[in-house]
Amino acid sequence: MDKVTQIAKMIDHSILHPTFDDKKLEQECQVALQYDVASVCVKPYAVKKAADLLKGSDVNVGCVIGFPHGNSHINVKVFETEVAIQDGATEIDMVINIGKALQQDWEYIEEELSAVVAVTKRNGAILKVIFENDYMPDHSYIIRLCELCTKTGCDYVKTSSGFGFVKQENGDYNYKGATLEHLRLMRKHSGPDVKVKAAGGVRDLDYFLEVMETGATRIGATATIAILEAAKQRFG
């Protein structure tokens, strides 16, 4: 596999902004097809249409669950996962219950993970678990989440939703997203069968390559065209 193809097949092309309509979905699925990325990551209602647009290609359909804040009841996340898979999703990106993680209710988090893992395993789909690292007070929370994802058999641990905005000192809301420090931490504390996905803030080829070196094997991106055109210039 050449370098450009390797990079393309690490990209989950994100089509998640709340303003995106069906026309935008069609446009972005065409981008995913043109650049032959690993997958698209779409909103739940869009799965069926995305699956139809990408039918017969090597681009998988992923769907977000409990997005972006992770507050849905466990049973709702299970149902949402089941519907997404029925509609054609083969990859599931689920946000954990962030409040429960912050209060260190690890029993609840384990129950939630186990419930959704059971659905994905039964249906041959993969589960990526979004921690929203920007909200975590220190490394111990991220480490514990990695341990629980390993224990329950999740397929990926993932840094961010891309929508986890934290109030800054100046009053603005922003986020760091996928930091190299957090990615290395997640790789170190996840089991060998658990992969790492970076999401949030990976907008150019140079940072993409740095992220690759941490051991991440999937990268969520909206800047897919810019990243892959730069890769063609450099490696093509």
Helix (H) or strand (E) holding 8: helix 3-8
- State the DSSP string of 198-225: EESS--SHHHHHHHHHTT--EEEES-HH
The active-site residue out of 12, 134, 155, 158 is 158
Q: Is 158 a catalytic residue?
A: yes
Under 8 Å between Cβ of 229 and 11: no
Q: Is 134 a catalytic residue?
A: no
The active-site residue out of 93, 128, 134, 155 is 93
Q: Is 93 a catalytic residue?
A: yes
Closest of 133, 138, 25 to residue 70, by C-alpha: 133
Four-residue CA torsion sign, 201, 207, 208, 213 = negative
* Strand pairing class (91-95; 126-130): parallel
Strands (E), the chain: 11-15, 39-42, 60-65, 91-95, 126-130, 156-158, 166-167, 173-174, 195-199, 218-221
Closest of 49, 58, 52, 61 to residue 23, by C-alpha: 49
Q: What is the largest CA-CA distance in the chain?
A: 49
The active-site residue out of 77, 128, 195, 197 is 197
- CA dist 1 and 114 (Å) reads 35
**Residues assigned a catalytic role:** 93, 158, 197
